[in-house]
Chain A
Amino acid sequence: MSLVLKPLRWFLLPVILIGVWWAASAGGQNFYLPTPDAVVRAFGPTWTPATLRADVLPSVVRLLAGFAIAGLVGVAAGTAIGLSPRLRAYSEPVLEFLRAVPPPVLIPVVMLFAGIDNTMKVTVIVFGCVWPVLLNTIEGVRAVDPVLDEVCRAYRISGLTRLRTLVLRGASPQIMTGLRQALAIAIILMVISEMFAASSGLGFTIVQFQRGYAIPEMWTGIILLGLLGILLAGLFGLAERVILRWYFGLRRAARDGGN
Chain B
Amino acid sequence: MQTESPAAPVTAPAAVTGAARRERAGSNAVRGAVGALIALAVWEIAPRIGLVSSTDLPPVSTVLRVLVREAGTSAYWTAIGETVYAWLLGLLIATALAIVLGFSLALLPAVRAFTTSTVEFLRPIPSVALIPLAVIVYGTGLGSTLLLVVYAAFWQIYVQVLAGVADVDPVAEETARSFRFSRWARIRHVTWPSALPYVLTGVRLGAAVALILAVTVELVIGAPGLGAEIAVARSGTEPALVYALVLTTGVLGVLVNVGVRAGERRLLRWHASVRREVPV
Contacts and interface: CB of A to CB of B under 8 A. Distances in A.
Instruction: Decide whether A and B assemble into one complex.
Output: yes
Contact of B133 (A147, A218, A230): A218
B30 to A, nearest CB: 8
B-side interface mostly:
helix
B277 interface: no
A86 B31 contact: yes
Interface string A81-99: 0011110011111101111
A182 to B, nearest CB: 13
A192 interface: yes
Contact of B121 (A14, A192, A195, A221): A14
Contacts of B116: 9-10
Interface in B229-260: 230-231, 233-234, 239, 242-243, 245-246, 249-254, 256-257
B32 A196 contact: no
A179 to B, nearest CB: 15
B125 interface: yes
Nearest to B243: A109
Contact of A94 (B1, B35, B227, B233): B35
Interface residues of A, number: 61
Contacts of B38: 90
Contacts of B2: 153
Given A105-B227, A210-B132, A90 B32 contact: yes
Interface stretch (A43-51, A118-126, A183-191): A183-191
B126 A191 contact: yes
A99 B208 CA distance: 10
B132 A230 contact: no
A89 B254 contact: no
Interface string A214-235: 0100100110011001101100
Nearest to B125: A226
B129 A92 contact: no
Given A104-B219, A192-B128, A85 B4 contact: yes
Contact of B129 (A100, A102, A191): A191
Interface residues of B, number: 65
Contacts of A10: 116-117
B132 A101 contact: no
A203 B132 CA distance: 10
A111 B233 CA distance: 13
B250 A225 contact: no
Nearest to A232: B124
Given A89-B31, A109-B246, A112-B239, A187 B126 contact: yes
B131 interface: yes
B249 A105 contact: yes
Contacts of A101: 246, 249-250, 253
A206 interface: yes
A1 interface: no
A14 B118 CA distance: 6
Given A101-B246, A146-B10, A147-B8, A107 B254 contact: no
25 contacts: A9-B113, A10-B116, A13-B115, A14-B117, A86-B31, A89-B31, A90-B31, A90-B38, A94-B39, A96-B254, A99-B253, A104-B215, A104-B220, A105-B227, A106-B246, A108-B233, A112-B57, A150-B8, A188-B127, A215-B136, A218-B136, A222-B129, A226-B125, A229-B129, A232-B124
Interface of A: 9-14, 17, 32, 83-86, 89-94, 96-109, 111-113, 146-147, 150, 153, 184, 187-188, 191-192, 195-196, 203, 206-207, 209-210, 215, 218, 221-222, 225-226, 229-230, 232-233
